[in-house]
Structure 1
Amino acid sequence: MGATRGPFRDAPRDLGINVSISGANGRNFKIIQGNNVKLKAVEGGSVWALCSVDSSPPAQLSWGFGGRDLNTSQLGAGGSEGILQLLKLHPEHAGNYQCQATNDLGGIQGGFQLVVEYSPRPAAGPDPGLWCKHESGGLCCHCSLRAEPPAQLHWEVNGATVPGKDHQTKGNCTDSAMHWEGPGDSVVCIGSNYLGFYALQGSVHTLAAEGSSRLLGLGATIGAGAFLLLLLLIITALLLWGWRLTAPQRSKKPPDPREAQADDINLVYSNVPTRGPPNPAAPLDPHSQDETPYANIDFSRLPAPSTPCDTPATEYAQIRCMDPPPCRA
């Protein structure tokens, strides 16, 4: 009797990739077949990629980008299919995409390289796209723009085209320099490719000032710090000088309130100097019950008080104003 053969088993093979690309407006639709190919799409467009293999049992499919799994695997009836969808493309979508197909007998992978094309724009980074500085009796300007495909740069001064020099392209970034010795108020750097153009414009004086500050930034910082330090020392010296002038006055003992003169005529202080023995007082009326002694003070030279006697707010001794008792004849 012959042996019964089981189902055919095979590792994934014959991996194929079909890619559909459309423009930002849905036009320019195209389909590309192949593996490990370089594809170009426009910023704002879309990409659909279909990955398929022959295998038994069916393979598990997954897409990866930059070494990470995109989790876009989908299984189809009668076989294995993986679909990758990228919408509203931007420059960060550019790179290598890999389709991985595996089953328990083995695995295979393939992919494509995606290039996202876009119009010129300022280069990424803290530096401005256009700056100038005074050099060798003229003005030296530098411009940097990025684009895909790389931009072509040219210069204009006051509307007239000026040849540039030292054009360099690294990746998608293009640099250019221009030296100008004639009169001019406006400098323009224009970058262009088949998708559009971008212009950087500025006044000669502003750009030159910005360029000089970039070159002399460290020196300006040190100079500003030294100026602030000097200003701080001057202010400190003035404050110390003023403090020394006012220090003797503040060091004096404050006047004793008992030595101050009263503004209120109704207040008589106990520190009034003695002018000799008081005049003998007339004998009191034996019928008088008031035994309170009074000082013999002459108020004839003082004006009559306009207000009643107030309770003083000081700590001095006080003598109340009262009519003296009648003197005996």
Structure 2
Amino acid sequence: MPRGRRTIQLMNLPWGMKNPASSMATVTLLILAFLCKGLRSQFPGYDLKALKAVTVQRGLCIHIPCNFTYPTSEDLHPGELYVYWIKKDGASSYIGYTRNYFAGIVASNDKDQSIVSFAGNRFQLTGNPSEGDCSFSINDVKFEDEGQYYFRFEKGTLKFSYSYILTRVSVTELAEKPKILNLSEVVLGKSTTLICQAPGTCPWKESWTRPQISWSNLPGAATAQNHQHSNGSWTFASGFTFTPSLQDQGRALTCSVRYPAVGRTVANTISLEVLYPPQVIRITRPGHPDFSAQKEELVVREGDTVSLLCEAQGKPIPSVTWMKKNKTLNNHMQGSKETLQLSSIKSEDAGMYECQAENLHGSIRKNISVIVQYRPKTMTFNVTHAHRRDPALARGCPREVASGSQLTVQEGNLLRLLCKADSNPAATTSWFKEGRALEKLPDDWLELVNVKAEDQGDYRCQAQNAIASAEGFLHLLVEYAPKLSKKPQKNTTCWRKDNDILCNCSLHSKPPPQIHWQLDGKTVTENTSTADLKVSSSVQKNEVTSSLIWTGGPDGDLSIICLGNNSLGVYTMQFLLHSLKTGAGSHSAVLLSGLCGALLAAVVFLLCLGLIKFYKKRKATPKAAIPEAMDSANYVNSANYVNSANGGQQRANNSSLIYSNILPQGQRSPHVGPPKAAGERTPKPRQIPRPPSPSAEEPDEVHYTTVAFKSKGPPPQVEESVEYSEIRRE
């Protein structure tokens, strides 16, 4: 300190002095001195900012920041600025004046000032006092360092102690463990450096006081990782680099730090946790031990409840998610496990399900196919048909119809039906019609070749699998062109009654036919009826009966045609009526005809005998009979014998009956009659009007009814298949 400078010294008070007056004076002086100090502390411009209390562990260091101010107006004699940090002693003290001594000083920038012995060089001023920075630090803290400290400065004659502002330093035993860094980076297969950092960041100017770090159970060699900061302090650490494997999982590592200055050692032991992406994923079915986790599909039945548990292994514990078609499903989480619950499973729940396990280091997936078996349902039919005139039409172009649909097909067409049912496993199908099993093709198609009207009805398909069966049906409607009614009560014929002509024509078809009449080229319908010509119709389902009444009809030859048509074709029925001549000579005419027939037969017999003899004599080729075509279709035998439909003979027992023959369809072979005498001409067949053909594409079915009245002898007998319709005369 500069010479002549006065200091205040704390001394023990002599409470044992014998002079009471002197003692009281001393105490009074001391009180006044403290009062003056307190008064000066309240002067404006004197201020100090420092921590009121700090705690430090033994063997470490502590830095206490501090700033102070004083009024420059009182700095009348500028000089060197000296600062002091003083530990306040709790013992009794007195005030005295010396030149080089000030009790309890632990740190100062005054080189001539003595420092208390316990402080040594461990207390250091770290700030610049000329800038108002009064910060200081304590290294290698000891228990003796615990206490209260205050700040004082002297500058020339200006001296001031901030004793009313105290900083308390508390010292505890060293308990802080070393820090092991980078544990979150210990990833499987990835190079990692683990660092053990000693507690405290201090200057540690003397090397022997610096912390000493050691490892135990290392998988490699350690190296120093010390670091000096810009303020001169140090952080001491040690590290090692390695590539973790699953064998390092759970390895115990210990880092120990020894502080030589205080003889204290602290350690930190960890269990190494190696992080790795999910590597194992399993799908199990709780309650079903027979279900293997290696299976890639699960077969269940509709209505069942299915639970699938997905488990995964990884560090950190992976999150597990169930997905279907990249859509996350609602699941039940159980840590690294997740349950997929499918209640009352439906056919729509079938498909591929994906379990995904994921953490920060990767992900893994596993798929399982859920197959739902269910009974046959949603019956549908594939239908194809080909037209009878062009079988290529509609082939290869099936259309799908629902169960219960109605199909319409034309007679003669080809129809193919395929029954399909939505089911799992696939169902086998069987066809039935009116309880009768139908045979299908090997490719499961039911084929109806040349569809007939009798094929109309309900066709039922039964689909059966291992679970249940189901049925579907189609109603088939067959459309066909008009046909002659085959019912006995629906007789199609014409007859005379008195002077009237009555005709009935019964036809059936789908759709029902429209019937009209043609009389010698004149068309007559129900709408064009007159007083003489009346037409009426009756309809029963697909059958139509048309009746014609011709009042006062002519007595000569007539051609009456019944025409029935619908969208599919035309049916024609022709009645041929010849002139009617009957009377008393009818029996004689019959007798004469019989005699002529017998004579003709004898001539033929004799002729045949002569031919046989001639053949024997000549031994030549056989002599062929000269054929003669006879149009026997245009007359009615009014004799006592007529040909029946089966080729036999019937006797006409009633002369009032007139028989007409109805020619069957198709070509008829000519019949051979007896040879004629020389010079006799064969009569030219009579020309009978024919009904017009309704369509050039499809020939109509034409039926003829021939009625003939003759007064001469009976015609020769010929055998042919003739259909007769009865014409009654009343």
TM-score between both structures, scaled by the size of structure 1: 0.56
* 1:3 pairs with one of 287, 290, 294: 287
Q: Which residue of 2 aligns with 1:322?
A: none
Is 1:124 aligned to 2:477, yes or no?
A: no
CA shift for structure 1 position 60: 2.4
Q: Partner of 1:7: helix, strand, or coil?
A: strand
CA distance in 1, matches of 2:427, 2:566: 43
CA distance in 1, matches of 2:432, 2:574: 42
Does structure 2 conserve the Cα–Cα contact (< 8 Å) formed by 1:20 and 1:32? Answer: no
Question: How far off is 1:204 after superposition?
Answer: 3.2
2:380 alignment counterpart: 16
Cα displacement (A) at 1:145: 1.1
Matching residue's letter, 2:543: C
| SS of corresponding position for 2:300 | coil
Q: Is the 8 A contact 1:14 1:53 kept in 2?
A: yes
Partner deviation per Cα, 1:151-199 (whole Å, 9 max, x = no partner):
1100111111123433222232211111112326111100111122111
* Counterpart Cα distance in 2 of 1:26 and 1:96: 25
Please point out which of 535, 540, 549 is paired with 1:179: 549
1:61·1:74 contact (CA, 8 Å) conserved in 2? no
Q: 1:188 aligns with which of 561, 574, 583?
A: 561
Going from structure 1 to structure 2, the CA distance change for 1:3 and 1:16 (only over 3 Å counts) comes to farther
Go from structure 1 to structure 2 and tell me whether the alpha carbon gap of 1:23 and 1:32 turns closer, same or farther (over 3 Å shift): farther
2:391 corresponds to 1:26:
yes
Q: Aligned in 2, Cα 1:136/1:39: closer, same or farther, shift over 3 Å?
A: farther
Residues 100 and 196 (structure 1 numbering): CA distance in 2 closer, same or farther, change over 3 Å? same
Greater shift, 168-177 or 3-12, is seen at 3-12
Cα separation, 2, equivalents of 1:65 and 1:159: 47
Matches within 5 A, 1:58-77: 58-72=426-440
Compare CA radii of gyration and give the structure with the larger one. Answer: 2
Match of 1:47 among 415, 419, 426: 415
Counterpart-to-counterpart distance in 1, 2:516 and 2:474: 35
Distance 1:206 1:10 in 2: 79
Identity of aligned residues (%): 30
Residues 122 and 129 of structure 1 are in contact (CA less than 8 Å); yes or no, is this contact kept in structure 2? no
Decide whether the 8 Å contact of 1:163 with 1:178 is kept in 2: no
Q: CA deviation at 1:46?
A: 1.0
Matching of residues 268-287 of structure 1 within 5 Å = none
Task: Tell me which protein shows more helix as a share of its residues.
Answer: 1
**Can you give the 5+ residue segments of structure 1 that lack an aligned partner in the other structure?**
76-81, 211-220, 226-329
Superposition deviation, residue 28 in structure 1? 4.5
Is 1:87 matched with 2:452? no
- Answer whether contact 2:494 2:575 (CA < 8 A) is retained: no
Q: Is the 8 A contact 1:16 1:34 kept in 2?
A: yes
How big is each residue's C-alpha offset from its partner over 1:93-140, in whole Å with a ceiling of 9 and x where there is no partner?
222111111234322111211122222221124578631233474112
Alpha-carbon distance, 1:27 to partner: 5.0
Q: Report Cα offsets for 1:254-285 as digits up to 9, x if no partner.
A: xxxxxxxxxxxxxxxxxxxxxxxxxxxxxxxx
Aligned amino acid, residue 26 of structure 1:
P
- Counterpart check, 1:168 vs 2:461: no
Residue identity opposite 2:376 in structure 1: P
Paired residue secondary structure (2:454): helix
Amino acid at match of 1:63: W
Q: How high is the TM-score relative to the length of structure 2?
A: 0.26
**Partner of residue 509, structure 2:** 147
For residue 198 of structure 1, what is the aligned residue in structure 2? 571
Superimposed CA distance per residue, residues 63-111 of structure 1 (whole angstroms, 9 cap, x where no aligned partner): 1112111132758xxxxxx421112222222221111112343221112
What is the identity, as a one-letter code, of the residue corresponding to 1:114? Answer: L
Gaps of 5+ in 2: 1-284, 289-297, 302-372, 527-534, 581-635, 637-649, 655-730
From 454, 459, 465, the equivalent of 1:103 is: 465
1:3 shift after superposition:
3.1
Larger displacement relative to structure 2 (182-191 or 193-202)? 182-191
Shift in alpha-carbon separation, 1:109–1:65, aligned structure 2, 3 A = same
Distance 1:6 1:28 in 2: 44
Q: Per the alignment, do residues 61 and 74 of structure 1 end up closer, same or farther by CA in structure 2, a change over 3 Å counting?
A: farther
Count of matched residue pairs: 208
Q: Is the 8 A contact 1:17 1:52 kept in 2?
A: yes
